[in-house]
Structure 1
């Protein structure tokens, strides 16, 4: 390379570098028409250094829009020129600042929307701070669109300037008719029961289109055991129809639950076993139906068979039905058969009520016909209210809260005597979360019935893993009992938690004039495995005036499998 060529390239590189340096050091100074306006501009702030001229011009445009948004609607760029190689000067005239806008024709805005925005509403207008005007109109427009007019556009016309630093304007809207849902299309789980769309979610064709409400309703699907939402609903608008797309997937909802319990018999000092098997089949026919089967064998030669079938939204109606059969046999002493049927109505995904009838027939197998155990039959009517709240996608603790209350009245006949009876039952529990790892579980179960006389084979039976822990299954008899179960739970990870067991109970048995208080203490853990949720409980029970004894302890193992 010659010296001449080298010199040429050196000059070119120097010139290019100088231009780059200048380009990266462009400055902008914005002045007002008066000194007061300049102070106002400085207080508002703006970018003053730029890498290129295009960025500088963009900042001038943004600043002009900014001051106009906060009320300087008559602002004007008076001059813009290059002072020297790196400095540009711009001068604005701000003029008068308007602070708020009075908007007339407020009838276009539904009253419910005014509650969502911080604004002053008068008889014929509403007032908005001018810096919030654009955001407020966007919010109103979006809410009106959600309520069935997605293509509605709001504009302000007849804008006037008042002497009190206030603007006045008339609100107008483009002429678009309200939309209704013409078709609901389910993607992912095409056989999702249509009755659940209509009666559970309260979504049906011909209904006013409201996207916000539709999203809230679709989230309620997560309260179902057999389905959940994959993603938010979407809508397709054509010239003459509105198509709603729901994205749903089918979940595994069948469960197999069982436990094995063992403890030492106080009389024989031998280990005795007890347990149960519970099978729940849900939505296998894609109608949302549920079949539940329970078989239980207790330590004291008691056997329970329980079968129930729930059929929601019969024949496309909002009413469902539940039928139930329960057979209880105590060794060779007596057998009791209970049959019930109820009609259910679900107000929303969390609340439901039902009315039903129940018939009980108990037979004394020993034919002793004593005043304690005797043949009897009873008929009653009952009403039930239930509230259920699911915990979203938490396999360890799927239900967050439950409230279930039943009240019934009827009569019982034995030995040619008829007695009026009333029955009340309550089950409620709640999980209180302290943080991601610590929570407290509290459950109250209670039953009570009134009668002029009592028989042993009609009394409530309680105790065991699903009642007060540390006692034999169904070994306690009462016409009134209340059991409080508590657990402090510590979650070690997403699949394992440990917990305490602190239970207390009160019961009354008017047949033998007995009252008492019971307590259960222990610990346990739950482990989510590939086979299902495995639970271990170790607990010891005692009466009010009894000391603890490890020989009275109970160990319960259970496994709930989902398939």
Structure 2
């Protein structure tokens, strides 16, 4: 007998909500069937929890009818039919299709009116009634862009023009004094290079204040590797000044990259090693500068030493400078030294152009007349270049989505007894086609062409290896013209691991030995993001067009890129 009250209490707790909370239903109709169809097209909410919700829904319906042109609509009644049903009835009355808006030309530029209406007259313009709200919002945004963020506008003196049209006057209330940026304060990363504010983001004092444009410009920080936005910009308005606050954070941007490669020598059948070290220091002086040091030694007894310095926005100007020194030595055959100095201009966050000079000097280390295809020479080129760079920093494994670098040079070569005009063209471009979050396709084209009447072996273009066509030894291929395609199908297992295929193809010409060949590389690889950095493994086999596949020609490349 004692269990009965306890069971009854449990049942009340479990089912009391359904017993005592009853849904209310709302039915809205018009004076005629036609009006009811118009109301039904608004897709109003039929079911409600309480009377307040029903009343709010009826108000929303009336406002929606106003926007459709039924400005004289009237709510005849809202009554309770029974315990769970409410009924409402609207009289829509006359619908107005068009509004004639009168305005003052001194307050609104004609260019703004032309963007919102095709029917413009001396002191008024026509609009469809349904476009009124969006149009007023648009005009207000354009006025705000001109440094008047506190402007208000509304329609006044609204009256009936005829049976289907009304008219009104556009009233604009705003301060006469335009707002401009007086001060820019950077929080979080106080040493952020000021030149980047002025020339890269194009935000500077005395600029007309437009918050939307400022936010769009701040988004361009996503294209920088040494800083990021941590909070939306804020503005402090005082009576006589406007202060813009930017919230930035300095990010890790230095990189150390290296790889170790090994394969079997075709002649000696011995295991041989090669590799390189690549150090890239960015913005350590809070100037936006970069310094790159490269040292490479490969299995062909070739050594490369390279120093590259980039200095943006010299003397607070929009012009930057790039300097390069490269020394290449091939066994005991020759050495080649390249020096270049370029000026660059950053058009915007993605586009950059270059112009400069490249000087080369090469020396034959062999005994005189031992090899007639190697000779001492000097070249000098005037060069222009263009670079496009599109990042995707949200993807740690593949932070750059697209890149295009195109360079062309015009100059000549001098030897002890001759002078010859030469031209050179270089292109390097890639794009990642993101199929979805896990699958993507990487496609790259790379090529160069040295245009000359005669050629020396020590001035030919060198390619092959992990950064060009995989499955071949580093810089083992010499040509006056080459072009290659790298492709990878990539699958991300998670945010830290991916696997990929390798399918490469190349074509090159060497006019010294009168050779034209096609090359192919096949293989696979994977990448793992570790605490030390991004570790990459590539296994590739390279072959010539008319040579059978040999497993002994395979190359394994290991690399590790560390960000610090």
Same topology, TM > 0.5: yes
- 1:305 is displaced (CA, Å) by 0.1
CA contact (8 A) 1:279 1:293 kept: yes
Greater CA drift, 313-322 or 158-167: 158-167
- 1:475 and 1:42 map into 2 onto residues whose CA distance is 76
- 1:103 is displaced (CA, Å) by 2.0
1:425-440 matched pairs, under 5 angstroms = 425-440=426-441
* Residue equivalent to 2:507: 506
CA contact (8 A) 2:42 2:61 kept: no
- 1:235 is displaced (CA, Å) by 1.9
* Residue equivalent to 2:317: 317
* Residue equivalent to 2:297: 297
1:264-288 per-residue CA deviation (whole Å, 9 max, x = no partner) reads: 0011000000000000000000000
* Residue equivalent to 1:129: 128
CA contact (8 A) 1:321 1:342 kept: yes
1:463-507 per-residue CA deviation (whole Å, 9 max, x = no partner) reads: 111111111101111111111111111111111111111111111
CA contact (8 A) 1:155 1:173 kept: yes
- 1:377 is displaced (CA, Å) by 1.2
1:361-418 per-residue CA deviation (whole Å, 9 max, x = no partner) reads: 1111124244311111111111111111111321111111111111111111113211
- 2:238 and 2:245 map into 1 onto residues whose CA distance is 14
Of the three residues 70, 73, 80, the one matched with 1:72 is: 70
1:83-131 per-residue CA deviation (whole Å, 9 max, x = no partner) reads: 99998887755432212322232855567767986x5443454433323
CA contact (8 A) 1:257 1:560 kept: yes
Greater CA drift, 515-524 or 147-156: 147-156
- 1:215 is displaced (CA, Å) by 1.4
2:268 is the alignment partner of 1:268:
yes
CA contact (8 A) 1:101 1:130 kept: yes
Provide the secondary structure at the position in 1 that maps to 2:453: coil
* Residue equivalent to 2:9: none
Q: Give the direction of change, closer, same or farther, for the CA distance of 1:29–1:333 in structure 2 (3 Å limit).
A: closer
CA contact (8 A) 2:148 2:174 kept: no
- 2:48 and 2:276 map into 1 onto residues whose CA distance is 77
2:477 is the alignment partner of 1:476:
yes
Provide the secondary structure at the position in 2 that maps to 1:195: helix
Q: Give the direction of change, closer, same or farther, for the CA distance of 1:44–1:457 in structure 2 (3 Å limit).
A: closer
- 2:40 and 2:221 map into 1 onto residues whose CA distance is 54
Provide the secondary structure at the position in 1 that maps to 2:527: strand
1:524-553 per-residue CA deviation (whole Å, 9 max, x = no partner) reads: 011111110100000011111001101110
Q: Give the direction of change, closer, same or farther, for the CA distance of 1:61–1:523 in structure 2 (3 Å limit).
A: closer
- 2:543 and 2:55 map into 1 onto residues whose CA distance is 84
1:52-131 matched pairs, under 5 angstroms = 58-59=56-57, 61-76=59-74, 93-105=91-103, 107=105, 108=107, 120-124=118-122, 125-131=124-130
- 1:530 and 1:141 map into 2 onto residues whose CA distance is 51
- 1:361 and 1:506 map into 2 onto residues whose CA distance is 28
- 2:558 and 2:447 map into 1 onto residues whose CA distance is 25
CA contact (8 A) 2:413 2:419 kept: yes
Greater CA drift, 301-310 or 27-36: 27-36
* Residue equivalent to 2:156: 157
- 2:198 and 2:512 map into 1 onto residues whose CA distance is 50
- 2:228 and 2:554 map into 1 onto residues whose CA distance is 41
- 1:32 is displaced (CA, Å) by 6.4
Provide the secondary structure at the position in 1 that maps to 2:63: helix
CA contact (8 A) 1:24 1:50 kept: no
* Residue equivalent to 2:386: 385
CA contact (8 A) 1:463 1:475 kept: yes
Q: Give the direction of change, closer, same or farther, for the CA distance of 1:84–1:440 in structure 2 (3 Å limit).
A: closer
- 2:549 and 2:213 map into 1 onto residues whose CA distance is 56
Q: Give the direction of change, closer, same or farther, for the CA distance of 1:289–1:166 in structure 2 (3 Å limit).
A: same
1:428-464 per-residue CA deviation (whole Å, 9 max, x = no partner) reads: 1111111111111111111111122211111111111
* Residue equivalent to 2:354: 354
CA contact (8 A) 1:258 1:276 kept: yes
CA contact (8 A) 2:439 2:490 kept: yes
Normalising by the residue count of structure 1, what TM-score does the alignment of the two structures yield? 0.89
Greater CA drift, 280-289 or 150-159: 150-159
* Residue equivalent to 2:376: 375
Provide the secondary structure at the position in 2 that maps to 1:493: coil
1:120-519 matched pairs, under 5 angstroms = 120-124=118-122, 125-176=124-175, 177-369=177-369, 370-519=371-520
Q: Give the direction of change, closer, same or farther, for the CA distance of 1:555–1:168 in structure 2 (3 Å limit).
A: same
Q: Give the direction of change, closer, same or farther, for the CA distance of 1:310–1:90 in structure 2 (3 Å limit).
A: closer
Greater CA drift, 471-480 or 54-63: 54-63
1:47-105 per-residue CA deviation (whole Å, 9 max, x = no partner) reads: 77876665555555444434333323234456778899998887755432212322232
1:40-55 matched pairs, under 5 angstroms = none
- 2:45 and 2:454 map into 1 onto residues whose CA distance is 90
- 1:39 and 1:46 map into 2 onto residues whose CA distance is 12
Structure 1 segments unaligned to the other structure (5+ residues): 1-16
Q: Give the direction of change, closer, same or farther, for the CA distance of 1:42–1:472 in structure 2 (3 Å limit).
A: closer
- 2:541 and 2:87 map into 1 onto residues whose CA distance is 86
CA contact (8 A) 1:368 1:374 kept: no
CA contact (8 A) 1:257 1:277 kept: yes
Normalising by the residue count of structure 2, what TM-score does the alignment of the two structures yield? 0.89
CA contact (8 A) 1:380 1:409 kept: yes
CA contact (8 A) 1:328 1:337 kept: yes
1:146-200 per-residue CA deviation (whole Å, 9 max, x = no partner) reads: 4432101111123221224111122121132332111111111111100001111
- 1:393 and 1:35 map into 2 onto residues whose CA distance is 55
